């Protein structure tokens, strides 16, 4: 589970769609497989499969940093 910063409601339909699109791009670039992606109003749940050579922190860091950057870029209303 990845909670949103300050635990406020940020995941609307536009952000949810952007999140799924970004995760698809991450899947193509890195050796990750998203088995499930679920969002509540203030947190995200991922079930991810990766290659055994990755340390557990690498996929977590990749997912959190790339999705946050792209959501802020594509959905600027989230920053407010």
**What residue segments make up the domains of the chain, in order of their start?**
2-79
What confidence score (pLDDT) does residue 65 get?
93
Q: Output the furthest CA–CA distance in the chain (Å, rounded).
A: 39
Percent helix, percent strand, percent coil in the chain, to nearest 5: 50, 20, 25
Question: Do the beta carbons of residue 34 and residue 20 sit within 8 Å?
Answer: no
Distance (Å, rounded) from C-alpha 49 to C-alpha 34? 6
Query: Is 70 exceeded by the pLDDT of residue 4?
Result: no
| Residue 2: pLDDT over 90 | no
pLDDT number for residue 1: 61
Nearest to 71 by CA among 30, 27, 29, 10: 10
Could you report the per-residue pLDDT of 15-72, keeping only the tens digit for each? 899 999 999 999 999 989 999 998 887 888 899 998 888 888 999 999 999 999 999 9
2-79 folds as Alpha-Beta Plaits (3.30.70)
């Amino acid at each position: 589970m990845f909670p949103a910063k300050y635990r406020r409601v940020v995941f609307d339909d536009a952000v949810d769609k952007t999140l799924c699109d970004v995760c698809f791009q991450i899947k193509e670039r890195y050796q990750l497989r998203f088995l499930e992606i679920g969002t509540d109003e203030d947190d995200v749940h991922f079930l991810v499969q990766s290659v055994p050579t990755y340390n557990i922190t690498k996929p977590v860091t990749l997912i959190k940093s790339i999705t946050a950057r792209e959501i802020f870029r594509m959905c600027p209303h989230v920053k407010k």
